[in-house]
């Protein structure tokens, strides 16, 4: 997946809009090799722990996440939206889905070296969003708890907690299935949140993020 952030306009009476767009999802195929060869009919048998032709895997997202925020002087303005991830596989051993940035940096990079920082929270210990921070949330995973924040634009700091999207050196596992998924495709909501104030520099902010799904 890739995330980019852009402002739709510059300051107008202490107002700017930050727009997060462009979720691009890479799809990949799990490759399974057999440790034994025997005379079987084409289209039959098992290969390792996978049934014939059941170990491919693909993923997609809803494609666009817009985080519009128009700050008001003296207040923190936040927006939360979601991305819906779909993983398709027939693997009898399930799959693992991870999330990270592309590269080691995980702030949103803006104009003239401006940055929207990652929240200080982690998946095991998520935090509320602070001013000039962004993050993600997967309800029911790790330390996030089960509540879902809901989507909103130009609202208060959400009660739900968020984690920083980690760099590619240490991706977060956002879902693990140890057997055939209960549905195909198997879906998951990933929430993204952002909080800013009028001190956040207007401009275009961007950071690539990638989801990776592999057969167990």
pTM score: 0.77
Give the whole-angstrom CA distance, residue 108 versus residue 191. Answer: 16
> Cα–chain-centroid distance for residue 96?
14
Residue ranges in 35-174 assigned as alpha helix (H): none
Asked whether the predicted pLDDT for residue 164 surpasses 80, the reply is yes
Residue 131's pLDDT is 93
Q: Render pLDDT for 35-70 as a digit per residue (tens, 0 to 9).
A: 233 333 334 444 445 655 457 888 888 776 777 788
Reported as a pLDDT band with limits 50, 70 and 90, residue 3 is very low
Q: Which has more pLDDT, 197 or 46?
A: 197
Averaged confidence pLDDT in the chain: 75
- Report which of residues 159 and 31 the model is more confident about: 159
- Give the model's pLDDT for residue 186: 93
pLDDT tens per residue, range 72-115: 889 999 989 898 899 888 888 888 999 988 889 998 888 888 88
pLDDT of 127 above 70: yes
State percent of the chain over pLDDT 90.
32
Compute the distance between CA of residue 135 and CA of residue 157 in angstroms, rounded to an integer.
Answer: 13
Give the Cα separation of 158 and 103 in Å (integer): 28
For residue 17, name the pLDDT band (cuts at 50, 70, 90). very low
Q: Quick one: pLDDT band at residue 2, thresholds 50, 70, 90? A: very low
Residues β-bridged to residue 211:
99
Nearest residue to 148 (alpha-carbon basis) of 105, 193, 103, 212: 193
Task: Look at residue 111 and give its three-state secondary structure.
Answer: helix
């Amino acid at each position: 997946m890739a995330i980019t952030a852009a402002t739709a306009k510059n300051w107008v009476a202490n107002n700017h809009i930050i727009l997060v767009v462009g979720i691009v999802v890479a799809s990949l195929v799990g490759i399974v090799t057999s440790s034994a060869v025997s005379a079987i009919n084409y289209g039959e048998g098992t290969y390792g722990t996978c049934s014939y032709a059941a170990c491919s895997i693909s993923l997609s997202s809803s494609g666009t996440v817009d985080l519009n925020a128009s700050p008001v002087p003296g207040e923190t303005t936040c927006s939360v939206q979601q991305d819906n991830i779909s993983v398709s596989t027939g693997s009898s051993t399930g799959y693992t889905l991870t999330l990270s940035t592309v590269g080691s940096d995980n702030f949103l990079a803006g104009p003239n070296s401006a940055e929207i920082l990652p929240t200080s929270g982690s998946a095991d210990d998520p935090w509320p969003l602070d001013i000039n921070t962004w993050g993600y949330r997967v309800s029911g995973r790790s330390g996030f708890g089960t509540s879902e924040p809901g989507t909103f634009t130009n609202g208060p700091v959400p009660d739900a907690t968020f984690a920083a999207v980690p760099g590619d050196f240490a991706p977060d596992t956002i879902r693990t299935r140890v057997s055939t998924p209960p549905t195909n495709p198997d879906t998951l909501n990933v929430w993204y949140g952002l909080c800013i104030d009028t001190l956040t520099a207007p401009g275009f902010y961007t950071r690539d993020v990638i989801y990776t799904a592999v057969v167990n």
